[in-house]
Structure 1
Amino acid sequence: MENSPALLATIGLLLALWTAGAVWAMLRASNRTQKAEGSRKAVVRLSRMIEEAPAIPLLVRSDGRIEAPDRLARWFGLEKVPEYLSELAGNDESGLSEEQTDELTRQVRRTQKTAKPFRMAVVPPGSSRALALQGTLADPSVSPSGAALVWVFDFTESEGELSKLREEAARSRDDFGALVGLIEAAPMPMWFRGADMHLRLVNRAYVEAVGAESADKVVADQIELVETVGGKTAAQVAQQAADRRQPIERILSATIDNARRTVRVTDLPLVGEGIAGYAVDIEEMEEQAREFRAFREAQRSMLDQLSIGVAQFDSQHRMTFANQPFHRVFSLPPGMVNDRTTFEQMLMVARENGRIPELRDFPAWRKELGEWFLADEPHEEAWPLSDGTHLRIVAQPLPDGGLVLIAEDRTEQLALSATRDTLLRTRTASFDSLFEALAVFAPDGHLELWNRGFAGAWGIDPEVLDGHPQAEDLLEAIAGNLADPKAITGVNHVIRSATLDRKKREGSVELADGRTLDFAGVPLPDGNGLLTVLDVTASRQAEEALRERNRALEEADAVMTRFLASMSYEFRTPLTSIGGFAELLSSGVAGDLGPQAREYVQAISLSVGKLTEQVENVLDLSQSEAGLMPLSKVKLELMPFVTEIVRNREAVILEAGLSLDLKGDAGKIVQADKQQLRRALGHLLDNAIAATPRGGKILIDIGRKRDTTRIVVSDNGQGMSKHELARAVEGIRMSADGKGIERRQGLGIPLARQLVEAHGGTLEIVSRKNAGTTATVTLP
């Protein structure tokens, strides 16, 4: 069979169409295969994404069946996902609790019926995982029979963060409330300004300070606490703080509670928009500062008056104050304080002036002194200087890091201390060398000081005194040595009187060994009491002997008085008889006498006269010494009285070749015994006549001095030495054996002295060898 071209073309066309259809079918199948593979991969990817997603779907069908990935079972603490929703309830360590399951079932059923979504959070028992459940009605494409789709989220970390944020928010609210309360209760005015610098908030103190009704009133009326200062209002100053982004602080005066007060105002820009401000009342601080400045000035003025040098250095070791004594002690030039001289520089200047000790290593010593600023306690040193000055240095560190340096010149004190030590040693040596036993008691009664003779005087052991015993203990030890132990109370009273009563008392006590002690308590200026003890045993014995002898002398004096009374008659009567018989013989009563017999009678009369005069002198002198001289005073005019005495001796004066000059006031009158005064002046005149050689001169002068009358008898004779004058004044005295009388010179001068003294006057005799003698009688 032959193939025609048309057939061939038809067959070729059919083959081409079949090939094209096969190719198309193959291409389509390949495309579907690729789509299926892509869908499978998409499903796998979506499944993996769901498994890795933070939320797990839970499909609950209308019959209660559930579908969910196995991962949800692990979240619930189950081994696998149960078949029904009610089976999610497990035990205490897995699944949900019955309450949680019932609540979830109720919410799912309501959603299935009403399509209303729900939210709930559960924490499976025994797990720390927090799960959030969000349920909605499932899309029909997912489950056409009204199933509920519940998405389960694990928000454990979010819940922790939310809890933390909630706690922080609550704490912030509490802190903010506390801060608001604190600001409101703050005693200082506080305020807040907005971006427009208008007041928005003020506290109660602000309202009270400006005297407003309320905070709202202050904000509404924009009542400012601070007035305009320097042409700038408070708002303008706050704007400057906002522009600079830095707080502005200023001190000014403001009216607070209707009183002008000094306040420190601070405008503080906040992080956000606005300016906070507060005002601190510093009126008391300013007042204290003023008082401190006044106190400091007064203190420094006072320190300038001290004799001790004081200087103050600040924490940078600079001198801030030094008084004048400090400048003098260290020879510092003026202006050291104004130049803010450092401590080290001050030491250098003092070293140049020789006012610090001589040192080998001055830099090391200066560095050591610099540590005074860091010390915790005061430091004291003694600085001996090369010129003999001794300085006491006290370094007192201050809390602010400064230092107070005190320099005291103790040179004089040390000298006084050395002198005091010497005096104490001298006193101790003097005490120990005294005959008296001494002891010093303190006001509290204990023994402070004693000498070596104190223990021996009381007969006690010296070791008893070494412990400075109390007076009671010491007296107890002494009482055993007394003849009468009860007499110790007298010693106690004397010590108590000297120490406490500050009175002087004396006493005497006898010891058992026969000794007698006199003691006395004397209060001392330092408050102590001095007890002096003296052994008067020998003096008491001598006193007793003197008393016995005095009694004997009194008896002898009585015998002498009786003797003088009888001798006054016994002496004068025989002499008068002899003189009378001699005058009778001389007058011829017994017949005419021959020349020789007459001569004998005249000699007898002359001897009787002299003997009578001597007897009278002896009797008068004895009576005067015995105090028995009888005086009969009358008014005497001295000039005629003395002239009569001179006239009675005129012949003797002329015979001796002497001249006599009598002068004085004629009106002088005295009260005196005429006979006794005549004898006294006569004896003085007789001595002058006897002591003046031929051609000599005697002067008698009567005068008055003050309330006394003076009679001066002087001559230019040979005079007497001191020894001779003493013998002449003594006249006669008892012999050394007391059995006789020693004749010394004569009875004239002693008798004249006794007679003048009997008149209440005095007799003074001045004589020089070869220069004459002057006797001065002074009468009242």
Structure 2
Amino acid sequence: MKIESGVRRRHPARAFPVLKELRILACRACSSLAILSAFSFPARAEDAFGKISTPFGVEVGTFEVIQFAMFLGAMGAALLSAGWLIRERSRIANENRQLRDKVADLNVTVQRNEAMLNLKDQRIIVWEGGSSTPNLIGNLPPEIGVPEPRSLFLAFGRWLRVDSVTLLDRSIAALREKARPFDITVETTKGAPLEIQGRTSGGYAIVRFINVGEARAEQALLKTENYQLSEAIGTLRGLLESVDMPAWSRDADGRLNWANPAYAKAVDAREPHAAVSEARELFGAQARERMEREKAASRRFNEQLSTVVGGDRRVFRVTDVAGTTCSAGVAVDISEVELIREEYKQTVLNHSDTLDQLNSAVAMFDANRRLQFFNQAFAKVWGLETAFLESHPDNSMLLDRFRSDGILPEQPDWRRWKEQVLSAYHSVEPQEHLWYLTDGRTLRVIVNPQPKGGVTWVFENLTEKLELQSRYNTLIKVQGQTLDHLAEGVAVFGSDGKVRLFNPAFASLWSLKKEQIAEGMHISAVRRLCEPVSDAVHWEAFVTTVTGFDDERQSLSGHIELSTGKILSYATAPLPNGQTMLTFVNVTDSVQVERALKEKNEALERTDELKNDFVQHVSYELRSPLTNIIGFTELLQTPMTGPLNEKQRDYLDHIGTSSSVLLTIVNDILDLATVDAGIMELDISDVSVADAITTASEKVADRLKEHNILLDIRITPGAGSFRADASRVKQVLANLLSNAANYAPEGSTVTLSCWREQAEMVFSVEDKGPGMPGYVLDSIFKRFQPYPNGGRKRGAGLGLSIVKGFVELHGGTVDIESAAGKGTLVTCRFPLEARTFSIAAE
């Protein structure tokens, strides 16, 4: 590359600009004189001015004198100009000589620099401005692995190590883009070190490759290691600043001198510098003292510490390493890990509990073939003691014990059989065996290898399953025979609409010959055979049901009358796998009987309606007179009506008692009529069990006292209250107690119990009366059918009917247990959250 000198040579034409101007002036002067000489004044002028005598005796005219003076002035100016021009020319010639000497010196310097740059121990790459094509100067020895051609030399990846190529490319990019100088050392593929310098000068980017000697090579390697260590430290610190875990370093005195943003965030500092300057510590004084003691003993601390971060207690795994002049540490938040570990332990416990509930025996062995886990079913299947199994016996020893106990049958070659079974420890795929035990049990044995070398054994008792399969096969055969002998016609169609099976009764009911229908026939073909004797609408519905694609498959049922006079009852039932079953029953006789019964039932319903209307009318008509009778009776018993004798008072007592009984019967009839009509509404509220029982017992207290009958009330603790109609509940309990008081013997005890049972409140009343035989229990809740066996009073027979109606209206149930001579127990179950059940009332 040629380097231009900073001094330019002057062109000869430009060296004497002043001389040229002087020449022009001189020429102009001479021209003026020539013009003046050529154009002289006329003779008359001379005569006009006269002549002047000189000392030499020559007469000179005035014009000559003027002309001569002018000539002398021009000659003087020319001489002065010539002298000045000669002097200036000498100066310029001297200056040109100096410039030529300087240019010669610069040429020598350029040649010397080019000679130095072209040495074999260095090579230079020069980029001019933003040009992407560089210039190369100099050479490097080829024996160190540097190629000579320009294209091969610029392909650094071919002759430099990978790490050196990355470092060089990054440094050159920083030099050209950001003018950042660098001094690095790289290594060729042959192991030779090269020192590379990068600089910028003006608009040039220059990279210099220098071959270093042995001493300088060691220095260059040290410089490279230093650079790499600096880069590694910077990278490591950058990494620690970006990770979400607190990291710090301390000086020799234990003072904090660096922290990352995660540390600053953990100690509530604005930035890491503030955390260091304010000496904010992540852990408490005791934890730091413990860390210092551990580092003083082993120069390393690696344990778990807890502290408060952001108001929450967090657990960290702290690693702090002490050096000769400083120490550094990092804290990993393992709070979630600890939580997951606890959840894992709980999961393992739950898993163990779950396995203990399985009927299949499970045993887990480790890689050393020692028992690590077993469930209760395992100990039960093999009849082993828990203490023996908790001693972690060997798998091979267990097999030998099963053999010695006579559980496993003898094998022709026991050792080979055991080795084959235990080969699962070296297998990858699960194995499955069937063991036939000597006691007749059949076990399905699944051996599943574990990833860490252990084995899980699962023993499933197939004895019952095999028996069930045998029974199932037998049952299928029996069902097939039964189906063939059924009077009911059955046909099963698959999801494709084809016949899967049918029995002879199906063909007989539809008057089909045996050869007309067969398995695999489509339902459309069956339809064509059956439609001539039936209604096409029904078979259209059958085809739609069998071949339809509805998400919810509906069942159909009804009757179809054939042209032959038969009346068939049909039903469709969806089966698994998209199959559908059609059943047909000949109900000709039953339909005819049903029609006759319907006619009779309609007549009975009309009669029942008349009866209900009569009962309601009579009940309402009786209530008003009874109320008047009771009112007047009570009025006559007051002193304001005048004195009464003893007989009159007895008569009034009998009138009041009979009227009250009659009013109770009328009210019961009205209540039953309201329930039957479905218009009774319950007043749902919180019912206190104790209050309801107290009120009901007070109503029958006189009757119990009259016959010396004790009432034993048993309320289970926690019964509390439930949602129901309080007045109806009290009426139910009063009727039950009244019924028990009517049948309980003199001096006996009636027991009233109450307790909670799941979502129900249960009341029971038990007496030690004569009881009732079984045939009476079927009609005990019917109206107007009292059972007088042993009763003191014969009522209208509405008490238990009202009890059943009110309990079922709440959505509950009534049960009665009784036998002749063993007393009676009536149990009422109310739901804890009652609502009106009209269906139950009807």
- TM-score, length of structure 1 as denominator length: 0.44
Instruction: Kindly name which structure, 1 or 2, has the bigger radius of gyration based on alpha carbons.
Output: 1
Q: TM-score, normalised by structure 2?
A: 0.41
